[in-house]
Amino acid sequence: MDKIRIVVVDDHPLFRQGVIDAFSLVEDFELVGEADSGRQALDLISIKRPDVAILDVNLPDINGQQITRQLRSKKSRTRVVLLTAYDDTEQVIHSVRAGAWAYCAKDIEPEKLTDVVRTVVNGKYFINRKMMDEGERDRWLIEQTEKAARPYSDPGEPFHPLSNREMEVLECVTMGKSNKEIAADLGISHQTVKNHVTAILRKLGVEDRTQAAVYALRRGWVRLYEQPDAGGEE
């Protein structure tokens, strides 16, 4: 059986070495690289193309969520397991929306972490300390996003439909992208993105970006994730 190829990324050498040591004791795992920053991680993953990248959420340059979004936008087949010292629901939501396959607290037992990696390699997710399939992940994400959003009455269908560009911006918002990232993706200015977001909130009758994401997800206007195609990284 082929070994599970992993990279480990953490800016704390002692913790990073501890994770590496834990995986070195498992026969079906192979460490193919390590890094201490987000930029190094992106280069390493691009070159090594591991099965799984184990990333610290809080890195000094590009954080783990941003790395995850970039990998998804490149249709990378590397699956991301995020580790964090701050395990709160809002961060889990942002991480799942970014495309993470698992989100774990750093106090996780080594044996459990190896189980989590096997879980994601086998096409399952580990979120909120539970193993989930894709449908369960989507339902969890919608439910938790709704809970995180401030209460509001459903305004129904917008009186003025969104333009094509506004729909593109809304899809990016639903994916958890920042205005800067949206501007880069769509080739428009940061101010133009802000103007579109303002228009979207007004037309949908909602108060913030999270509520706009809930509105779009509940109506099936946007897909949560874009799956890698045959032309993506392998």
User: DSSP string covering 124-168, please?
Assistant: -EEETTEEE-HHHHHHHHHHHHHHHSPP-----S-SSPPPHHHHH
Residues 49 and 160 in one domain: no
Identify the pLDDT of residue 86.
72
What amino acid is encoded at 112 in this protein? K
Of 110, 143, 176, the domain-final residue: 143
Nearest 5°: phi and psi at 223?
A: -90, 140
The low-confidence residues of the chain, meaning pLDDT below 50, are 151-160, 226-234
Which of 22, 14, 6 lies closest to 79, judged by CA? 6
Residues 18 and 64 in one domain: yes
Residues 40 and 115 in one domain: yes
Which of 186, 149, 156 lies closest to 168, judged by CA? 186
Residues 122 and 8 in one domain: yes
Residues 161 and 138 in one domain: no
Rounded CA gap, 104 and 7, in Å?
A: 16
Residues 51 and 128 in one domain: yes
Of 143, 172, 196, the domain-final residue: 143
Residues 55 and 108 in one domain: yes
Residues 115 and 214 in one domain: no
Of 118, 143, 168, the domain-final residue: 143
Identify the pLDDT of residue 212.
86
Identify the pLDDT of residue 224.
59
CATH number at residue 134: 3.40.50.2300
Residues 128, 175, 169: CA angle, nearest 5 degrees: 160
Domain that holds residue 14: 4-143
Residues 159 and 234 in one domain: yes
Rounded CA gap, 89 and 95, in Å?
A: 10
Instruction: State the total domains in the chain.
Output: 2
Give the pTM. Answer: 0.69
Residues 116 and 35 in one domain: yes
Residues 63 and 130 in one domain: yes
